[in-house]
């Protein structure tokens, strides 16, 4: 059994506790970027294309760090810079994010190609193993491509 974070929870329900920690608009996107896009710096998160304000980004990074989901490491050769990295607790969210990706692609309009979703559905275990390997070896190579936003997708369709 894991120790409880200091955050006050609405109830003892595991779903409620999870939502108290990860249920805001940005936390899972930051975790996604760390986990499968190889992002490590504040600037990379800020430039991800999701439109997060710098004050919100700083707050969420702090919140995720305080919850033990991510940690900071100094950047070699830069006394002020830090890189963010998922902790074992953070990388344990990999199956959750994979299933959210598949669920959304099946039930909502997304920019993820159907062939991509079908491939990851067939190879869940392989994708998770590769995610864990990249985390363990500190390999920042993106695992899942960036999908264009719905707005950009609609703009392209309207331009035809």
Domain boundaries 14-159, CATH class: mainly alpha
Q: Which residue has the tokens 């920690």?
A: 21
Q: Break the chain into its structural domains and give their ranges.
A: 14-159
Are 97 and 34 contacting, i.e. CB atoms less than 8 angstroms apart?
no
Q: How far is Cα 30 from Cα 104, in angstroms, rounded to an integer? A: 17
The pTM score is 0.82
| Series of mean pLDDT values for 10-residue runs along the chain (160 residues) | 57 88 91 91 89 94 96 87 95 95 92 89 94 93 74 49
């Amino acid at each position: 059994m894991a120790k409880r974070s200091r955050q006050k929870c609405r109830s003892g329900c595991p779903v409620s506790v999870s939502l108290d920690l990860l249920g805001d608009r940005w936390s899972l996107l930051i975790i996604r970027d760390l986990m499968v896009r190889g992002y490590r710096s504040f600037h990379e998160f800020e430039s991800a294309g999701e439109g997060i304000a710098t004050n919100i980004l700083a707050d969420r990074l702090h919140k995720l760090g305080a919850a033990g989901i991510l940690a900071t490491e100094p950047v070699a050769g830069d006394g002020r810079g830090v890189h963010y990295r998922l902790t074992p607790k953070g990388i344990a969210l990999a199956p959750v994010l994979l299933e959210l990706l598949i669920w959304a692609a099946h039930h909502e309009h997304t920019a993820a190609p159907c062939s991509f979703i079908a491939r990851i559905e067939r190879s869940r275990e392989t994708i998770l193993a590769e995610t864990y390997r990249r985390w363990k070896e500190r390999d920042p190579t993106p695992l899942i491509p960036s999908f264009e936003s719905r707005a950009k997708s609609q703009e392209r369709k309207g331009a035809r």
